[in-house]
A and B are shown apart, each in its own frame.
Chain A
Amino acid sequence: MEPRSDNTRMIVNMGPSHPVTHGTLHIVLELEGEIIVKATPNIGYLHRGVEKLGEHLTYQQFIPLTDRLNYCSSLMNNVGYTLAVEKLLDIQDPPRSQVLRVLCSELARIGDHLVCIGINAVDIGAFTAFLYLFRERETIYDLFEMMAGQRLHSSFTRIGGLFRDIPPEFEPLCEQFLDSCPRTVDEMESLLTHNPIWADRTKGVGAITAENAVSWGYTGPCLRAAGVPQDLRKGQPYLGYDSYEFDIPVGTSGDIYDRYLVRTEEIRQSLRIVRQCLDRLRQIGPGPVIIEDYKIALPPKEKVYTRMESLIHHFKLIMHGIDMPVGEVYGATEAANGELGFYIVSHGGKSPYRIHVRPPCYPIFNSFDEQVRGRIIADAVAVLGGMNIIAGELDR
């Protein structure tokens, strides 16, 4: 669109603190009438210097920082980071821990998608779906609390396994959740999928071709909605994802409506995986959830109090950290928003020489200008919700 020559553009600031920005980000919109001529995202308001901090923390101490990347699905960040460090160490966690990691990742994915769809609908004006969805998210957070002792900032994983096993009350509540969540998703679909207002506001908005999405570096539901069946759980399976039965939903036009449909179907597929995880946990039975290599994972407290070697291991791990090999790895997992990557350069020693986080929504938000140019302000709100921008992982 050609700018008008009489200089009548209006500048509208969206954010840094605006209800639809969900976190602190700033978008400068240049308008002609109600049409957006240019959108300039201005990020960095939540920049905490995670990568710089990581260079001064031990590998174990970095886990709480990963909680604060995508705070809607912190368990997945924990899992992604520990898998990257375990790749560097070339170790594998025990089978029970692997199943539990898949279980908590999929619960986190459901939670993230529920929030994303709910908030997207609220921003556009459909308040009801949000209330139904948040009831389920509440149960997910109850489950997280049982697992990790915390609802939001879980820090559940440890290098080589998990912080602890799930308590006996977990399974009945999870069964209950598996029962009620599909009903809630049905209710949500009956409120949104065939709702003409929702369709008007989302169909064609933010449409993107597959080539363009790849060029922008899209991953996750936004890329799949554009018709590219890319999912690391299928393409480069980790944690034994290749042994679970699930399907990858793919959209056609890449618009907000397709992203919504892809996320909805992913919730159902994740529920399938959670069901399989519970069956597997019963099959495997009780067992260790962390490796018994005390040069990597802390020995159990009873041993520390009663055995000299364990006390030494405990002391060495706390004071000097893990003895890391020299090398560099890039560990990628399929997080709720797309590919979450951790690039770790180790020069040996207790802290990484360089740690870089590749957040999934960063390249996606990069395309915001192209997505909203020539559309109205209300579409910018819909696009922002459909991208699922989480400022914590955007700014790191």
Chain B
Amino acid sequence: MVIERIEAQLPGAILDRHAFRGDQTIVVEQARFLQVVDCIFAEGFQLLLDVTAVDLEIPEFRFEVVYHWLNLVSQERLRIKVPVADGASQPSLAGRFKSADWAEREVYDLFGIPFEGHPSLTRLLMWEDFPGHPLRKDFPLDGGDPFCSQDIGASFAPEARSLNA
């Protein structure tokens, strides 16, 4: 198992693990993240499928950056989650995996998590002066007033926040 081998090579790097419905998942401390990536790359997890994030709305580590890897030889999948505090940055993988380029820009755009070392960290899906980050949980569903750069979260009725209230 790849997780045992990571554990053997980098003791203490894996904070938590689970395999819900067969999806191998590890939670890695941010400081050891790049070491773990080196390790799994050597293990054959070379196709970085996807980078995304989840806004957990918990005070200490608000976000979780989620990476999905695929090993083309053994067809194993591995999900790595890195807890990131609000306002903190996450090391970029754009130098090592070309697919991280847009994936990280999208996370930056929609969640506002900066990626340290990314060559051109600009917005991708939203326009340059769009106020706020739409996939944060405190961003309203109706988008608020896109032309008002302040007051995000104050200028709309609370009932507009849910479609199925």
Contact = CB atoms under 8 A, between A and B. Distances in A.
Interface of A: 43-44, 47, 49, 51-53, 56-58, 87-88, 90, 212, 214-217, 219, 228, 230, 235-236, 327-330, 332, 339, 341, 343, 345, 350-351, 353-354, 356, 358, 362-363, 366-367, 395-396
A5 B23 CA distance: 53
Given A44-B127, A328-B23, A330-B77, 17 more contacts: A44-B125, A44-B126, A56-B162, A58-B164, A90-B21, A215-B97, A217-B103, A327-B21, A339-B49, A343-B50, A343-B52, A343-B68, A350-B164, A356-B52, A356-B66, A366-B98, A366-B102
B39 interface: no
Contacts of A339: 49, 70
B99 A215 contact: yes
A329 B21 contact: yes
Contacts, number: 101
By Cβ-Cβ distance, the 4 closest A-B pairs, closest first, are: A217-B99, A44-B125, A327-B20, A366-B102
Contacts of A328: 20, 23, 25, 79
A341 B68 contact: yes
A204 to B, nearest CB: 21
Chain A interface main SS type: mixed
Given A88-B21, A330-B68, A47 B125 contact: yes
A350 B66 CA distance: 23
Contacts of B23: 328-330
A224 B143 CA distance: 40
A341 B141 contact: no
Interface in B111-152: 124-127, 134-135, 139, 141, 143
Contacts of B2: none
Among B54, B101, B102, B162, residue most surrounded by chain A Cβ atoms (within 10 Å): B102
A153 B92 CA distance: 38
B72 interface: yes
Contacts of B124: 43-44
B49 A358 contact: yes
Interface in B84-98: 97-98
A230 B72 contact: yes
